[in-house]
Chains A and B, each alone.
Chain A
């Protein structure tokens, strides 16, 4: 009786060596599952988006015919697309313009091994592990124009209440605030790990040279962590360009498209309004834009920076 599991194990092992192993010896077999899913769910969708952007597609009516540049013409004559595109650029630019310097300052401030610093860094990182849904719900509550605590705080400072998410001029800045709040901890983490690559001796000799904290920051700290900026800016830009959850959950793109961003516009046009061709044309333009931004970012920053 004791023998039987071992015998069974031996049989399985022999079968494996005989039939499975010769297949798995081939690297192509090892990469096949990943490659198959990649082709079906990444390459083909991208090609489909490209193809459908030149077609007039209506799955309900069964229409699917070549339409030339009609979709592209329609998005450029449609004021909404231009506005959404501008919103996306503004949103991404300000998220990075506030988020990254704030992260560098916070990281320099917290860059020590004291318990208070570690605790604060842990607290600042918390929103990053929490879902966008939770964060959006919380901030929508605090930004409520009537009962929200933010307007109450503004009132204490003698500032008139804002409409926040419901105002045409304040909706986009509001979601920028939430986006910076959510991603700050991640950016701080990256900068702190960059700061830790700076040898202690560098700071010690700066001290001996009587270099003040501000001078040390600009002449030593910043140049020495510059290699990490490529990564930081790239991830920050890529993440904010693809923002969907905040728009979907907090403003629905409104009021009057004032906080609508590209991915939400594609969702609205193609998924909610069934204008598939038009949405895909927008997606293709967006893809080229994302590609151009990452190339530009890479070219500008890689001259001085290098990867680990």
Chain B
């Protein structure tokens, strides 16, 4: 456009670019918009053809119904509690482990590192039945510890933190050790602040993974007691062949969608970084 003329080729290119943008945005915004729109409709309007884009009348009480029928607060509390515990557990378990692999020399280091990264090779989903058998023998089914303790270890987190910790200069750690710092102080007061971006990225990744997890929660629980919000929407699905109340289900789905979406809007930059970091391994 710099020479100010509009050749047919340029107009065509401009139209093509606009069309691709429109198609991309439509493919990704429209489904979410339609979910939001349906969540305010009546049952009748949710099921008409042609579908209406904007509800003819707004029914925010759908949300109250979904909230009640999903028993949402119960699931939300479980989600918060389990996610916070898992993150805390991973920090306690994986940070010292990564510190040892990044900064210490010891016998069998390579073998032990390979063993700790076992999960990168063997997908745990394939052997979940054994998980279930072990947890049921321990009496951990339907307990918080059953959903937290095994997940305090993560091969991804350890690998990722080890790579990050390696960039911290040895001299700083040695100087602190000379000054009489304990190992806990070295990890918490020197290592962690320097490697903060890596730790934040790993934590965000664990957060997104655990908050959204459906697979392990559905395998390791049999009742509502410790279930998290991804399982709450089941309460809105009919158990027999009656019609699905899509307007209520979509309200529930918006509630499921909202917390992660808000966090993504607020911390999108960090979340994307945490995902690309993993890409950089």
Contact = CB atoms under 8 A, between A and B. Distances in A.
A106 B50 CA distance: 31
Contacts of A129: 208, 212, 260-261, 263-264, 271
A33 B93 contact: yes
Given A21-B183, A37-B150, A38-B118, A283 B211 contact: no
Interface string B171-212: 000000000101110000000000000000000000010011
Given A141-B249, A141-B250, A132 B212 contact: yes
B70 to A, nearest CB: 12
B40 interface: no
Interface stretch (A167-175, A198-206, A264-272): A264-272
A38 B150 CA distance: 8
A244 B215 CA distance: 7
Contact of A31 (B48, B97, B208): B97
Contact of A152 (B49, B101, B123): B49
A141 B237 CA distance: 12
A242 B131 CA distance: 16
A59 B134 CA distance: 13
A37 B146 CA distance: 12
Contact of B268 (A38, A48, A122, A238): A122
Interface string B233-267: 10000000000001001100100110011011000
Contact of A35 (B116, B152, B257): B116
A291 B120 CA distance: 11
Contact of A126 (B96, B158, B214, B261): B261
A37 B21 contact: no
Residue from A42, A126, A149, A244 with most neighbouring chain B CB atoms (10 Å): A42
A44 B106 contact: no
Interface stretch (B4-12, B22-30, B56-64): B22-30
A33 B157 CA distance: 14
Contact of B183 (A25, A142, A228): A25
Interface residues of A, number: 88
Interface string A276-298: 10011001001100110010000
A116 B150 CA distance: 42
B169 interface: no
A181 B28 CA distance: 8
Contacts of A94: none
Contact of B125 (A20, A149, A244): A244
A85 interface: no
Contacts of B256: 131, 133-134, 137
Residue from A21, A34, A37, A267 with most neighbouring chain B CB atoms (10 Å): A34
Interface string A116-160: 100010111111111111100111011010110100100000000
A225 to B, nearest CB: 12
A81 interface: no
Interface string B112-153: 100110110111111111111110000000000000011011
A24 interface: yes
Contact of B97 (A30, A59, A308): A30
A218 interface: no
B272 interface: yes
A134 B129 contact: no
B81 interface: no
B72 interface: no
A46 B115 CA distance: 13
A117 to B, nearest CB: 9
A67 interface: no
Contacts of B99: 30
Interface string B32-55: 101100100000001111110000
Contact of B100 (A30, A106, A144): A30
Interface in A26-70: 27-28, 30-31, 33-35, 37-46, 48-49, 52, 59
A255 B126 CA distance: 23
Interface of B: 20-21, 24-25, 27-29, 31-32, 34-35, 38, 46-51, 92-94, 96-97, 99-101, 104, 106, 109, 112, 115-116, 118-119, 121-134, 149-150, 152-153, 155, 158, 180, 182-184, 208, 211-215, 218-219, 230-231, 233, 246, 249-250, 253, 256-257, 260-261, 263-264, 268, 271-272, 275-276, 279-281
7 contacts: A17-B180, A25-B183, A27-B100, A52-B130, A120-B25, A129-B260, A134-B256
